[in-house]
Amino acid sequence: MHRVRFRDPAGSVRTGEWHDGELLFADDSYDPEEVDILAPTEPTKIVCVGRNYAEHAAERNEDVPERPLLFLKPPNAVASHGDTITLPAGKERIDHEAELGVVIGEQCRHVAEEDAMDVVAGFTCADDISNRDDQDLEQNWVRGKAFDNSCPLGPVVATPDEVPDDASVRLRVNGEVRQESSRDLFIFSIPELIAEITTYLTLEPGDVVITGTPSGVGPLEDGDSVEVEIEGVGTLAHDVRIP
């Protein structure tokens, strides 16, 4: 199943199913082009994982971490499928980062690896947009990672049975493939990540864990169109505006 949040023509926010090119809610169906697709969840936080692909660590000239490298994005970072993202002005380099997002289905703490998938509602696409100018100058990455609209999510939450263990992760800019890999190349698996994260903090329903980006990250420019495609989930699309 592919669950989707959208605003219908009357302005009501609905949570329905995306099926065969239609959005279904109750007895009604909608054309995706005629409604506003919303972020598929409203997280209290987004827990991000750095350097979870060895090739990405190498392209950043950084070591593979011995334990998951974690940081946070706040709710203001969330953007939706179809949005035009306004990025900070005056920066030398702001990069795209395609990632598989894990949507949490229940409040949880101290989750064992073997139980981790029980708390997963499903998967979504994410773009961890990164302001490298400031990220490379600070340790806490607030300016580099937590700015407004720096985490487009969507367009749906796909239940785990829809997404293969080796699901492909791909990003295109203006139709050109920039990133291409798969989730089976993670350094730390999803159960390992959830177990580690919930050792330290409580995850709430709707929170998202974004699982790291493959190699091929690159700069965004004003007017770019970005697509993040994950096998079994679908394609998240957004445009870029840089003042």
pTM comes to 0.97
CA–CA separation, 189 and 171 (whole Å):
21
- pLDDT tens for 190-215 read 999 999 999 999 999 999 999 999 99
Domains, the chain, in order of start with CATH, read: 1-38 (2.30.30.370), 39-241 (3.90.850.10)
Residue 109 confidence (pLDDT): 98
Collapsing DSSP states into helix, strand and coil, what is residue 240?
strand
Residue 153 confidence (pLDDT): 98
Could you tell me which of 76, 242, 92, 199 has the C-alpha nearest to residue 145? 76
- pLDDT tens for 87-137 read 999 999 999 999 999 999 999 999 999 999 999 999 999 999 999 999 999
- Tokens for 48, please give them: 């991000």
Residue 38 confidence (pLDDT): 98
| Strand ranges of the sheet holding 84-86, from the earlier edge strand across to the other edge | 84-86, 234-241, 225-230, 168-173, 176-182
18 has which bridge partners?
23
| Helix, strand, coil abundance in the chain, percent, nearest 5 | 20, 40, 40
- pLDDT tens for 21-60 read 999 999 999 999 999 999 999 999 999 999 999 999 999 9
Q: What angle do CA 210, 212, 217 make, to 5 degrees?
A: 120
Gyration radius of the chain's alpha carbons = 17
Q: Which helix (H) or strand (E) holds 56?
A: helix 54-59
Would you tell me how many other CB atoms lie within 10 Å of the CB of residue 140?
A: 11
Residue 182 confidence (pLDDT): 98
Contact between 42 and 121 under an 8 Å Cβ cutoff? The reply is no
- Tokens for 161, please give them: 């049975």
Q: For residue 11, name the pLDDT band (cuts at 50, 70, 90).
A: very high
- pLDDT tens for 70-87 read 999 999 999 999 999 999
Q: For residue 11, is it left (φ>0), alpha (ψ between -120 and 50) or beta? A: left
Residue 173 confidence (pLDDT): 98
CA–CA separation, 186 and 52 (whole Å):
5
Residue 199 confidence (pLDDT): 98
Q: How many residues does the chain have?
A: 243
Residue 66 confidence (pLDDT): 96
